[in-house]
Structure 1
Amino acid sequence: MHVTSEHTLDARTTERTFTIGDISGILWTPPAASAPAPLILLGQPGGLGMRRMYPRLVARARSAAAHGFAAVSVELPGAGDRTPLPGAKRARADLTRAIAAGEQPADDVIDRLILPLVDEAVPEWQSTLDELVHLPEIGERIGFSGGVIAVGVRLAAIDPRIAAAALFAGSHVPERTMHEARRVTIPLHVLLQWDDEGNDRARSLDLFDAFGSTQKTLHANMGGHTGVPQFAGDDATRFFVRHLGAARG
């Protein structure tokens, strides 16, 4: 892990940009505490890039730090200045065309758009974790928050370090993700925007039903993709406080 910059945002949050091989990311940590801080992995939508998402990411990180959590986000494959994933542009155009026409996107379109991203993003998240868990300020309890939901599902299914996940049901879901969901047994908090114009609501409900977790909660709010109410984020933070605890000063 190579730290490229470090500065203090406020009394509660230190921000470090870093690289791990070809992976670039940002780590936010709360003030030094007597115990290492639980870590929340901040997922983000595919294709937008951390530069565009930074205001939302840093707001989430500051909220996490206020509760004693560290937070980290990494640039997704194909996003920002990274090389586009092969076929992603065509698959996204096919998906957009189907939604605009009021049609159900074909499974092949969803697979071409989502699965290559998951196949690359999950190992990169794991490589990031391999480095961060050795930092003295980072604790053993780790959560995943946000999207892409298929990334969060696979990571939760295969990596035992993930102890809880708050997932945003904001993308179409491949059939493979439905099968992987049955292997997820950690506590879950799933946020669904009921009128999300870019989401398949029925598929999202099917995915929630497929999760193997005995502790899972679905929070559905009226409104579109960008209409998430403030209290929904507060609910997710309380979920992590319950299941990850927090560092104590």
Structure 2
Amino acid sequence: MHFTSEQRLDDGVLERAFTLGEIPGTLWTPASAAPVPLILMAHNNGLPRAAARLAARARHSAASGYAVAAIDAPGCGDRPRSAADEQARADLRRAMQAGEPVDDIFESFIGPLVEKAVPEWQTTLDALLALPEIAGPVGYSGWTAVGIRLAVVEPRIAAAGLFAGGYVPRAQREEARQVTIPLLFLLQWDDEGNPRQGALNLFDAFGSTEKTLHANMGGHVGTPWFEVEEGVRFCDRHLK
């Protein structure tokens, strides 16, 4: 892991950009010098780690006493996009504008993206836990499809907060029954691109004995800020 820049933010949080091979990422750590638990934070469907909503969540969690890391998924953010990536996005835009079904396009695009992203998160986790300022345990927050796969294959993930907005491939819908860690599942009741019944079915499928569903009125980007604060309290219960 090679740190390429750093800045101390107004709330005392240290923000550092890093590269790990071809993986670009950002690490936020609190002002405290003591080793702290870690939260892996992924934006839904691989949007950039620099997205304002993700950065705000990361800063708040870091100021609350956590190390928080985000990376760009393959083909997203600062990562190069292949011709296949560009074609998939073009097909998706065309289908949505035409009002056509998009599940098959999402499946062909998001399914392989999850398969590529999860091993990179595991490689990143290895490097992060080697840093003296990070002690674990490890939580996860964000992109549901990646969170499901990580919870199944990565025993170091102790709890997860998942956002229902975003396509979940068939493979991860089937894997949901294998997820047994504590979960906080956030649902926007009026999400224009994600039918709520699918999210409710997914919540029901999770194998966790401790799982909580928070549903709020509003569209895809309308998650209230108090849910960010609730996410920190959820992590406090399970990671501290």
TM-score range, shorter chain: over 0.9
What's the CA shift for 1:104? 4.6
TM-score (normalised: structure 1): 0.89
- Match of 1:46? 45
Mapping of 1:1-249 within 5 angstroms? Answer: 1-34=1-34, 36-46=35-45, 48-51=47-50, 53=51, 55-85=52-82, 87-100=84-97, 104-106=101-103, 108-147=104-143, 149-245=144-240
What's the CA shift for 1:81? 3.2
Which range is displaced more, 70-79 or 4-13?
Answer: 4-13
SS of the residue 1:199 aligns to = coil
Change in CA separation of 1:165 and 1:230 when aligned onto 2, cut-off 3 Å: same
Task: Determine the C-alpha separation between the residues in 1 that align with 2:89 and 2:192.
Answer: 15
The size of the alignment, in residue pairs, is: 240
8 Å contact from structure 1 (residues 99, 198) kept in 2: no
Unmatched 5+ stretches in structure 1? none
SS of the residue 1:182 aligns to = helix
Change in CA separation of 1:86 and 1:122 when aligned onto 2, cut-off 3 Å: farther
Task: Determine the C-alpha separation between the residues in 2 that align with 1:232 and 1:109.
Answer: 31
TM-score (normalised: structure 2): 0.92
SS of the residue 2:178 aligns to = coil
Task: Determine the C-alpha separation between the residues in 2 that align with 1:144 and 1:225.
Answer: 20
Identity %: 57
What's the CA shift for 1:204? 1.2
Unmatched 5+ stretches in structure 2? none
8 Å contact from structure 1 (residues 4, 16) kept in 2: yes
Question: Given residue 225 of structure 1, which amino acid in structure 2 is its aligned partner?
Answer: H
What's the CA shift for 1:2? 0.7
Change in CA separation of 1:124 and 1:102 when aligned onto 2, cut-off 3 Å: same
8 Å contact from structure 1 (residues 12, 65) kept in 2: no
Change in CA separation of 1:225 and 1:57 when aligned onto 2, cut-off 3 Å: same
Provide, for residues 141-169 of structure 1, a one-character-per-residue CA deviation record: whole Å limited to 9, x for no partner: 1111111x111110111100110100001
What's the CA shift for 1:195? 0.7
Structure 1 moving runs of 4+ over 6 Å: none
Question: Given residue 224 of structure 1, which amino acid in structure 2 is its aligned partner?
Answer: G
8 Å contact from structure 1 (residues 169, 204) kept in 2: yes
Question: Given residue 118 of structure 1, which amino acid in structure 2 is its aligned partner?
Answer: V
